[in-house]
Amino acid sequence: MVVAVLLAGGSGSRMGSERPKQFLEVKGKTILEWTIEAFHRHPLVDEIAIVSRPDCIEEVKRLACPYPKVRKVLPGGKERYDSSLAAIRAYREDGCRLLLHDAVRPLVSERIITECIEALDSYEAVNVAVPCTDTIIEVSDEGIIRRIPPRSSLRNVQTPQGFRRGTIQRAYSIALQDPAFQTTDDCGVVFRYLPDVPIRVVEGDMQNIKVTYPRDLLFMEEKVER
């Protein structure tokens, strides 16, 4: 079974809005609805789960009503990884394929979703990324350049990130025993705590943006179709 997990627990503070950004409207639909639609219409996605801020559960359920593939609306937690864990624990079959996706990346393409699902036939973990267009520098605590990695090998990470459920569950089980555990991304948990598991990289798309700032809403308005 392929389950798309939409992580919708953010607050949207950088957007400067009173409402969480996933509930902002673009061309008559919320960002969350646009993202649900991207996965709902994909023929290889069997089910959708949405992880929400606890105080927004009822609103998410209302928005999800027209989409029968949405089977679960789950409360998240304080940290982003709490939301991932909520979905991982909601499913029991280790062979289940989970696509963990930022709910505010509504422009994810059918190609990206397809390639992530197909990659999970051969790999236990999949990431989506695009080449870096800027030179990246690593600096010391004193603000001195320490290293300039070659740009040709660097990528900017997007979502979805795909996993066989047993693999990501195992990675988190080890991670949560580490007192120094910190993460901002699920593939990073597999990379650090299951170093023998190769992570396949699927080519992303520059349009697959995470809506973060007001200018991103303008970009989205240009790209979505009613």
Q: Where are the domains of the chain?
A: 2-218
Mean pLDDT of the chain: 94
In sequence order, the 6+-apart residues with CB closer than 8 A to the CB of 159 are 100, 101, 102, 105, 108, 128, 210
Omega within 30 of 0 (cis) for the link into 54: no
Crossing angle for the helix pair 31-40 and 57-64, to the nearest 10 degrees:
50
pLDDT of residue 16: 59
Global pTM value: 0.94
Report pLDDT digits (tens) over 92-147: 998 899 999 999 999 999 999 999 999 999 999 999 999 999 999 999 999 999 99
Cα gap 15→25, rounded to integer Å:
13
| pLDDT tens-place string over residues 190-213 | 999 999 999 999 999 999 999 999
The second-level CATH assignment, the architecture, of 2-218 is Alpha-Beta Complex (3.90)
pLDDT surpasses 80 at 176: yes
- Separation CA 89–CA 77 (nearest Å): 13
d(CA 162, CA 113): 9
Q: What is the pLDDT of residues 7-52, one digit of tens each?
A: 998 766 666 567 889 999 999 999 999 999 999 999 999 999 999 9
